[in-house]
Every structure is written in structure tokens, then in C-alpha cells.
């Protein structure tokens, strides 16, 4: 496992980050615990979660993934300092007007809730889940800066920001001498390229912002388990994955299968992760395995890189400008 600096910071994170949106949604608590232990024992030191995970699942009030991680941390007895814990704030945690957003009020309340659920006294990376058009960026940055001063948060990042909002945040932080975002968590994969590549990639390259892409397997599409003429896949994610059904993407999967076979029997999902890992702008793709088997498969991407020729072949096959 390689460890990379998170953006311009000195913080070292593993080349794969373990996402936890599936905890308390598609993975129950005991599977979640197994996944956490297996990931950590095999060198993943970077865990991504969010306060809101996964409030959309039946019977999940939000906060469940954080609670599972907190209990695992406590029960496993792992040294807290060996784990880089990343969480997020912004989502709706209740019905009252201040139960969501990036105001000072919500951030200050919600960080305490996250710390309590995670059973820790600091968060390594605190991320704004998506922008809040109703709160001035200065208010958000000032609250995050205070959390850093208080030692409750060590680094800050953002997710789902358009390029101009990211630049605006960097500019305000610089102007007010606040701590800056060290990383961006964008939606980015072979089947979702345009959003990151159109402008965000240049911003991250120019300002040394770390990139930790989410949904690197397109929610499961880039595993090859969905087939053009195949049976319906038994997955809670199957409906969302259908957005990737297109002639271009079926052909892409077939090229990925060929590259995997020529690379000594790598799976399609390992090729998808390797496509990201072969790009120097990427710090650490966030995987979301539901089972131990999936995690073990995802691990096959560690140290696996595509040749320039293979990468270019996949770039062409997934070109968002082509239909
Ligand atoms: N910032 C944000 O707004 C945001 C949004 C989404 C996600 N995230 C973060 O990113 C993480 C990953 O996102 P994601 O779950 O969408 O990632 P993904 O890698 O695109 O999809 C993961 C899903 O693919 C399927 N899968 C994975 N490996 C497989 C394998 N080897 N064989 C067959 N199926 C496999 C599983 O779904 P099934 O088995 O259930 O089909 C798994 O839950 C999340 O946990 C979360 O931490 C952040």
C-alpha cells in the first residue's frame, strides 16, 4: 500500500480510502465491522464517512455509519492516531431550519454530534458535503477555522463544489488568513468524467488540492456485473446504476475486460480503480465495498497501474464528448 500526501498537506493517506455510505444501508453492522477490520489490517488508514449516512435508508435516522465506525474504533482497540477519519457536514439531520447547511450554527452543533458518534475528540478531515448557497462562504470558513484552532478538526476539505466555488473558497481563506481546503471529493469515474475534468481538475492541479474521487465504480456498473442483455442485478443500487446504460459504456466494459485479461487476470473493477490511480492528480479513490469479497477484489487495484497506451485507450472509449 502506498501512502500519499493529501494535497499540499503533510498528512499521509493510503492510496485507497474506505467509504462507508453502505454502512447501515446495504451493509449491516456486522458486515461493516468486518470490512473496517479487513481494510485496516491490509493497510487502508483512510476512512470516509458523513453525518448524514445513510438517512435515505429505511429505519436509518442518519448518523448510523459514524456510530458504527465509533463503536468499531472503541471495540477494536486500534490506536486512534493510526487512522485518518474523514467526515462531512451539510446534509439534513432533522426537520428544523438549522438542522442542515453550512452556517456557523449548524457546523458547531453537528461537529459535536459527529465527535460523539465517532467516539473521538478530533476529526482528521472535516468536509463540507456540498455547497450551501444560502450561507456566505466567509461564515463557513470562519467556523471551520475556529474548529481547527480548537483542535476538534485537523484539516478541512470540500465535496461537490463547482470550480468557481472552490476558487472562491481558496481566495477567501487566503484573504482572511483562514485554513484552506486541502482536498476535494468529486464524483469521478470512467462513466462520470465531465463534472471533474471540465474545470475542477485544473483548479486542483494549479492549487495543489488533493483529489479523493467518490463512486469510482459507478455504483457497481464498472464491476461488469451489469450486462447489456443480462438478468436484473439483485442490488439496492441497481436502479441508480441504470443511468450508465449506453452503447458507449457497454463497449467500454468490454475494453476494460480485455485490459484486465492482458494484465494477468485483473477484474473490471480493478481496471476501473487503476484508471484513476494511474492519473497523478488522484490522491485516493474512495471505495464502497458492501461485502468482504468486494473489498478483497478492490484490493487487487493496490499497486496496479495502467500503461500510457491502456489509459489512453480507456480515455477514448469513455470520452464524454462522444455519445
Ligand atoms: N461526497 C459525496 O457526495 C459522496 C457521494 C457518494 C459516495 N461518497 C463516498 O464514496 C464512497 C464510495 O461510493 P460508492 O459506494 O458510490 O462507490 P462505488 O465504488 O462506485 O460503488 C460501490 C458499490 O459497487 C458494488 N461493488 C463494489 N465492488 C464490487 C465488486 N468487486 N463486485 C461487485 N460489486 C461491487 C457494491 O454495490 P452492491 O453490491 O450493493 O451492488 C458497492 O457498494 C461512499 O461510501 C462514500 O464514502 C461520497
User: HEC states along 41-75?
Assistant: HCCCCEEECCCCCCCCCCCCCCCHHHHHHHHHHHH
323 assigned to some structural domain: no
* Ligand 1 contact via 269 beta carbon (within 6 Å): yes
Does ligand 1 have an atom closer than 6 angstroms to the CB of 235? yes
| pLDDT of amino acid 323 | 66
Q: What is the pLDDT of residue 34?
A: 98
- Does the C-beta of 284 come closer than 6 Å to ligand 1? no
Q: Residue 163 has which C-alpha cell?
A: 470550480
Going from the Cα of 145 to the center of ligand 1, the distance in angstroms, rounded, reads: 31
Is 276 inside any structural domain?
yes
Assigned domain for 124 exists:
yes
| Number of domains the chain contains | 1
Instruction: Report the sign of the C-alpha dihedral through residues 78, 79, 83, 84, in that order.
Output: positive
Question: Which pLDDT score is estimated for 15?
Answer: 98
Residue 14 lies in a domain: yes
Per-residue pLDDT tens digits for 64-112: 999 999 999 999 999 999 999 999 999 999 999 999 999 999 999 999 9
Are 86 and 117 a contacting pair, CB within 8 Å?
no
Is residue 309's pLDDT more than 90? yes
Q: What is the domain range of residue 281?
A: 3-317
C-alpha cell at 50: 458523513
Cell of 235: 442490488
Q: What's the pLDDT score for residue 322?
A: 75
Would residue 191 count as lying in a domain? yes
d(C-alpha 159, C-alpha 245), whole Å: 26
Host H or E run for residue 126? strand 123-128
Placement of cell 464528448 in the chain: 321
Q: Is residue 176 part of a domain?
A: yes
Q: Cα–Cα distance between 21 and 187 in angstroms, integer?
A: 14
For 23-36, what is the mean pLDDT?
97
Q: How confident is the model at residue 31 (pLDDT cuts 50, 70, 90)?
A: very high
Q: Provide the angle, in degrees to the nearest 10, between the axes of the packed helices 268-277 and 247-262.
A: 90
Q: Residue 132 falls within a domain, yes or no? A: yes
CA 109 to ligand 1 centroid distance, Å:
29
State pTM to two decimals.
0.97
CATH assignment at residue 98:
3.20.20.100
Per the annotation, the verdict on 3 as an active-site residue is no
In residues, how long is the chain?
323
Whole-angstrom distance, CA of residue 121 vs CA of residue 124 = 10
- Domain assignment present for residue 322? The answer is no
Question: What tens digit of pLDDT does each residue of 156-199 get?
Answer: 999 999 999 999 999 999 999 999 999 999 999 999 999 999 99
Residue where the block lists cell 439531520: 93
Amino acid at each position: 500500500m502506498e501512502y500519499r500526501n493529501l494535497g499540499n498537506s503533510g498528512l499521509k493517506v493510503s492510496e485507497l480510502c474506505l467509504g462507508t455510505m453502505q454502512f447501515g444501508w446495504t451493509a449491516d453492522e456486522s458486515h461493516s465491522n468486518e470490512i473496517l477490520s479487513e481494510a485496516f489490517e491490509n493497510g487502508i488508514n483512510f476512512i470516509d464517512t458523513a453525518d448524514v449516512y445513510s438517512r435515505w435508508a429505511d429505519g436509518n435516522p442518519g448518523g448510523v455509519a459514524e456510530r458504527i465506525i465509533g463503536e468499531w474504533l472503541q471495540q477494536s482497540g486500534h490506536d486512534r492516531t493510526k487512522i485518518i477519519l474523514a467526515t462531512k457536514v451539510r446534509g439534513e439531520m432533522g426537520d428544523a431550519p438549522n438542522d442542515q447547511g453550512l452556517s456557523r450554527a449548524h457546523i458547531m452543533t453537528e461537529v459535536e454530534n459527529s465527535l460523539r458518534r465517532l467516539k473521538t475528540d478530533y476529526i482528521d478531515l472535516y468536509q463540507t458535503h456540498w455547497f450551501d448557497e444560502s450561507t456566505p462562504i466567509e461564515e463557513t470558513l470562519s467556523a471551520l477555522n475556529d474548529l481547527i484552532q480548537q483542535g476538534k478538526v485537523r484539516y478541512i476539505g470540500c465535496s461537490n463544489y463547482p470550480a468557481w466555488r472552490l476558487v472562491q473558497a481558496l481566495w477567501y481563506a487566503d484573504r482572511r488568513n483562514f485554513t484552506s481546503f486541502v482536498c476535494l471529493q468529486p464524483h469521478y469515474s470512467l462513466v462520470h468524467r465531465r463534472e471533474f475534468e471540465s474545470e475542477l481538475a485544473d483548479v486542483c492541479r494549479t492549487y495543489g488540492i488533493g483529489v479523493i474521487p467518490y463512486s469510482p465504480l459507478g455504483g457497481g456498473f464498472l464491476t461488469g456485473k451489469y450486462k447489456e442483455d443480462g438478468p436484473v442485478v439483485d442490488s439496492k443500487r441497481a436502479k441508480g446504476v441504470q443511468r450508465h446504460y449506453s452503447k458507449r459504456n457497454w463497449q467500454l466494459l468490454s475494453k476494460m475486460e480485455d485490459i484486465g485479461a492482458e494484465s494477468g487476470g485483473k477484474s473490471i473493477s480493478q481496471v476501473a480503480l487503476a484508471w484513476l490511480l494511474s492519473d497523478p492528480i488522484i490522491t485516493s479513490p474512495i471505495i464502497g465495498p458492501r461485502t468482504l469479497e468486494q473489498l478483497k477484489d478492490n484490493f487487487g487495484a493496490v499497486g496496479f497501474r495502467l500503461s500510457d497506451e491502456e489509459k489512453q485507450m480507456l480515455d477514448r472509449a469513455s470520452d464524454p464528448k462522444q455519445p
